[in-house]
């Protein structure tokens, strides 16, 4: 969508022009495809062609040759984040507030941010405002395959969303890999009614805390389970419906229906 993207910032005549251009481009389409229901609703309200929601999904082949995650053993709680923070637009401060509330209990938590150089400075700059005992590392970006391995080795995978009204329909591609890794997901920021939040909570795959106190309690519970060696992987059902093979089958059905309509 030209004029409804979550980072779109143009106003007045430019937004009107972009909407006209969008309408001109899409008016002759036989069907439209987008990645979430809120965006599908916008397209349906604005344009005539039928709309189908197809997720980005995860590629099962990416996980075929990965080492099986080791059996859970007592140890430190491992948190993972990989990707960009968009100059701080995706803000992890709630995590650091929660770690500060945990006090000495946070000393058994490791947090690894695999981000670019600029984002390393953002992470460290935000973290410096808080006092916590957890071990924090802001590290360089790693290759996709290595990122998948790190996700499998970790206990908690962080999904950080921008606090914008326009993020309801945002469903980052990484969340599907998180589901495939079958590790617990924590969403930081963003809307409580977002597609990402609903997906994680409906699958009982993690938490979207409203406050630092709520997040601290969640980390306390999972940290205790990890120290006891009882923080296992999530059931395989959390990844059902999110593979690209499943999305392609849905897309094939939509395309066949549109071809049959002509």
Domain boundaries, the chain: 12-57+243-260, 60-239
| Confidence at residue 14, expressed as pLDDT on a 0 to 100 scale | 85
| Confidence at residue 213, expressed as pLDDT on a 0 to 100 scale | 98
Task: Specify the pTM.
Answer: 0.90
| Confidence at residue 22, expressed as pLDDT on a 0 to 100 scale | 84
Distance of alpha carbon 197 from alpha carbon 161, whole angstroms: 10
Structure tokens at 258: 């549109």
List the chain pLDDT tens, one digit each, 262 residues.
Answer: 666 666 666 778 888 888 888 888 888 899 999 999 998 998 999 888 899 999 999 999 999 888 767 666 789 999 999 998 887 788 999 999 999 999 999 999 999 999 988 889 889 999 999 999 999 999 999 999 999 999 999 999 999 998 877 778 888 889 999 999 999 999 999 988 999 999 999 999 999 999 999 999 999 999 999 999 999 899 999 999 999 999 999 999 999 999 887 6
Strands 156-160, 184-188: pairing is parallel
Give me the architecture of the 60-239 domain, per CATH. Answer: 3-Layer(aba) Sandwich (3.40)
Strands 156-160, 77-82: pairing is parallel
| Confidence at residue 4, expressed as pLDDT on a 0 to 100 scale | 67
| Confidence at residue 236, expressed as pLDDT on a 0 to 100 scale | 93
| Confidence at residue 12, expressed as pLDDT on a 0 to 100 scale | 81
3-state secondary structure labels for all residues of the chain: CCCCCCCCCCCHHHHHHHHHHHHHHHCCCCCEEECCHHHHHHHHHHCCCCEEECCCCECHHHHCCCCCCCCCCCCCEEEEEECCCHHHCCCCHHHHHHHHHHHHHHHHEEEEEECCHHHHHHHHHHHCCCCCCCEEEEECCCCHHHHHHHHHHCCEEEEECCCCHHHCCCCCCHHHHHHHHCCEEEEECCCCCCHHHHHHHHCCCEECCCCHHHHHHHHHHHHHHHHCCCCCCCCHHHHCCCEHHHHHHHHHHHHHHHHHCC
| Confidence at residue 186, expressed as pLDDT on a 0 to 100 scale | 98
| Confidence at residue 108, expressed as pLDDT on a 0 to 100 scale | 95
């Amino acid at each position: 969508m030209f004029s409804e993207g979550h980072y779109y910032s143009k106003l007045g005549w430019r937004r009107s022009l972009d909407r006209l251009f969008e309408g001109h481009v899409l008016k002759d389409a036989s069907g439209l495809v987008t990645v979430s229901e809120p965006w599908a609703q916008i397209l349906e309200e604005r344009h005539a062609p039928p709309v189908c929601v197809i997720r980005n999904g995860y590629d099962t082949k990416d996980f075929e040759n990965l080492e099986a995650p080791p059996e859970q053993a007592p140890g430190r709680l491992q948190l993972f984040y990989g990707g960009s923070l968009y100059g701080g637009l995706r803000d992890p401060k709630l995590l650091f507030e929660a770690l500060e509330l945990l006090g000495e209990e946070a000393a058994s938590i490791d947090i690894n941010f695999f981000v670019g150089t600029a984002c390393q400075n953002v992470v460290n700059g935000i973290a410096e405002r808080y006092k916590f005992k957890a071990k924090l590392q802001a590290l360089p970006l790693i290759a996709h395959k290595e990122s998948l391995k790190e996700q499998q080795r970790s206990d908690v995978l962080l999904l950080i969303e921008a606090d914008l009204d326009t993020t309801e329909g945002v469903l980052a591609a990484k969340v599907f890999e998180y589901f495939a890794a079958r590790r617990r997901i924590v969403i930081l920021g963003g809307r409580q009614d977002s597609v990402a939040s609903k997906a994680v909570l409906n699958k009982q795959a993690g938490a979207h805390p409203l406050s630092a106190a709520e997040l601290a309690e969640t980390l306390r519970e999972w940290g205790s389970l990890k120290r006891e060696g009882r923080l296992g992987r999530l059931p395989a059902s959390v990844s059902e419906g999110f593979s690209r093979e499943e999305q392609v089958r849905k897309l094939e059905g939509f395309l066949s229906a549109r071809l049959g309509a002509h």
